[in-house]
Amino acid sequence: MPAPARTLDTSGRLCPFPIVETAKAVRSLDEGAVLLVISTDAGIATDMPMWCKATRNEHLGTFREGSAWKSFVRKRAR
Amino acid sequence: MQKQGKAIAMISGGLDSTLALALVRRQGIEVKAVNFYTGFCITETQRRKGGRADGSVPRNEALRAAADLEVDIEYVDISGSEYLDMLVHPKYGYGANANPCVDCRVFMMRKAKAIMEAEGADFIFTGEVLGQRPKSQRRDTLRIIERDSGLDGRLLRPLSAKLLPPTIPEQTGIVDRELLEAISGRSRQRQMELAKELGVVDWPQPAGGCCYLTDESFAKKFFDVLDTREAAGEERRIVPEDVVLLSTGRHFRISPRAKLIVGRSEVENALLEHHVPGRARLEAKDVLGPIALVEGEPTWEERMLAARIVARYGKGKDAPKVAVEWREGELVETYEVEPERDEARVEALRI
């Protein structure tokens, strides 16, 4: 995975807040930059690909690591 | 397709709002979807508790609908005190349970109006269907919602548009009224046909019934909190912590002074552990059993009753005696109690 420009740790937050916080974080990123979202809510695995498709950002992948999930998102170029 | 304007869609991800979204999108109108987080969504709560009883984890349907139609979506958290105050003092009253649907819609529409203005959008639309719901989707209440939210003429219901007065975007030609629908009532036949026509293939089953406030047993617990506070001379109000606890565990009104909440699963037990401060925490000591919380100031007899009910829901329910630990701040005591065996009594205390 590409090196993230920013890492957002949403551990302990329940859905839909990891996505709410992702949306805010992506807004402040440069186009093409990568955001790494860490979540302890399993919902991220289904929510993140759908959110990326809806908002036309690129979902690079979501992986489980122990009790958390790591999700990589590239901000779309407008 | 030529872009003709911009709209804000209020979507739940159910069939109706997905169809409304597809109807407006096919007219080449730029759409931004919003989904409101109230804290009372049953599906959301099921997701938080690890899924349904059959092991499946429900999808976030609003996200799914937005993804299918490639529409930008924003979550708006309205679960704070302003929303909770509205629930306790609804101008237009409650439906069959604790559901002030008209006030809730007005509340959401006002938030959506602010988003519409910030986004420079022309109008708002929803999946509401005339006559589909007994309280919030009657002709008169649809009008009240539009008027009270300050959205006069800018609130479009694409599924019933031809049965309602033309809105501003229809009058100005941003929206072609002829391409909208004239659906009314509870039958979903036309929606099913429309789904085929619009290529909408995926929606949640069954539709509706997603809000705890429309649930009879939840409503009893909701009003119990309000009534108990009022009887104790406090303000009738609901706080965010109440919302979490009202959808967690079995609730027993031990007395006007005390309420018992007993976890029903490991996830609920873990959730209750986060709400111990200010309450007593009960758990059977030597046998497996639920975590329970007691709110209020129980008498000695009421403490024993709470402990007996906690013992009844654990593995020691058939034992002659069960040791139940009572922790309350610095105080830790153990009560040897006989599990409550009078089912009728237990049920009578259930809220």
A14 in reach of chain B (CB within 8 A): yes
Q: Which of the 8 DSSP states describes residue B314?
A: S
So what's the pLDDT on residue A41? Answer: 86
Residue pairs spanning A and B at CB distance below 8 A: 55
The residue assigned the tokens 């065996």 is B341
Determine the Cα–Cα distance for residues B201 and B220; give it in Å rounded to an integer.
37
Mean pLDDT (whole number) for B21-45: 92
| Nearest-CA distance A58 → chain B (Å) | 12
A16 in reach of chain B (CB within 8 A): yes
Q: Which entry of A6, A13, A15, A21 is annotated as an active-site residue? A: A15
What mean pLDDT, rounded, does chain B reach? 92
User: Looking at beta carbons, which residues of chain A come within 8 Å of B70?
Assistant: 53-54, 56
Residue A15 among the catalytic residues: yes
Q: Please report which confidence band the pLDDT of residue B2 belongs to, taking 50, 70 and 90 as the band edges.
A: very low
Tell me: ipTM over 0.90: no
| Nearest-CA distance A14 → chain B (Å) | 6
Cβ atoms < 10 Å from Cβ of B195: 18
Please answer yes or no on whether B37 and A56 come within 8 Å at the CB atom. Answer: no
So what's the pLDDT on residue B29? Answer: 96
Q: Is residue A51 part of a domain?
A: yes
Residue A53: which CATH number?
Answer: 3.30.110.40
Q: Is residue A1 part of a domain?
A: no
| Nearest by Cα to B275 from B241, B224, B310, B238 | B241
pLDDT digits (tens, 9 = 90+) for B45-69: 877 777 666 767 778 888 888 888 8
Domains and CATH numbers, chain B: 6-198 (3.40.50.620), 248-349 (no CATH)
What residues make up the domain containing A50? 6-74
pLDDT digits (tens, 9 = 90+) for B94-147: 999 999 999 999 999 999 999 999 999 999 999 999 998 777 788 899 999 999
Cα–Cα distances (Å) from B25 to B8, B20, B145, B192, in that order, read 11, 9, 24, 18
- The number of distinct structural domains making up chain A is 1
Cis peptide before A18 (omega within 30 of 0): no
A20 in reach of chain B (CB within 8 A): yes
Determine the Cα–Cα distance for residues A15 and B234; give it in Å rounded to an integer.
33
Contact A11, A38 (CB under 8 A): yes
Instruction: Locate the chain B residue with the closest alpha carbon to A19.
Output: B75
So what's the pLDDT on residue B253? Answer: 97
So what's the pLDDT on residue B143? Answer: 93
Determine the Cα–Cα distance for residues B11 and B76; give it in Å rounded to an integer.
12
pLDDT digits (tens, 9 = 90+) for B149-201: 999 999 999 999 999 999 999 999 999 999 999 999 989 999 999 999 999 88
User: Looking at beta carbons, which residues of chain A come within 8 Å of B77?
Assistant: 17, 20
Q: Is residue A40 part of a domain?
A: yes
| Burial classification of residue B303, based on how many CB atoms lie within 10 Å of its CB (0-12 exposed, 13-18 middle, 19 or more buried) | buried
Q: Is residue A53 part of a domain?
A: yes
So what's the pLDDT on residue B209? Answer: 57
User: Looking at beta carbons, which residues of chain B come within 8 Å of A43?
Assistant: 47, 57, 60
Instruction: Locate the chain B residue with the closest alpha carbon to A20.
Output: B75
B223 in reach of chain A (CB within 8 A): no
User: Looking at beta carbons, which residues of chain B come within 8 Å of A42?
Assistant: 50, 57
Instruction: Locate the chain A residue with the closest alpha carbon to B47.
Output: A43
Mean pLDDT (whole number) for B325-348: 95
B56-60, B77-81, B213-217, B263-267: the lowest-pLDDT one: B56-60
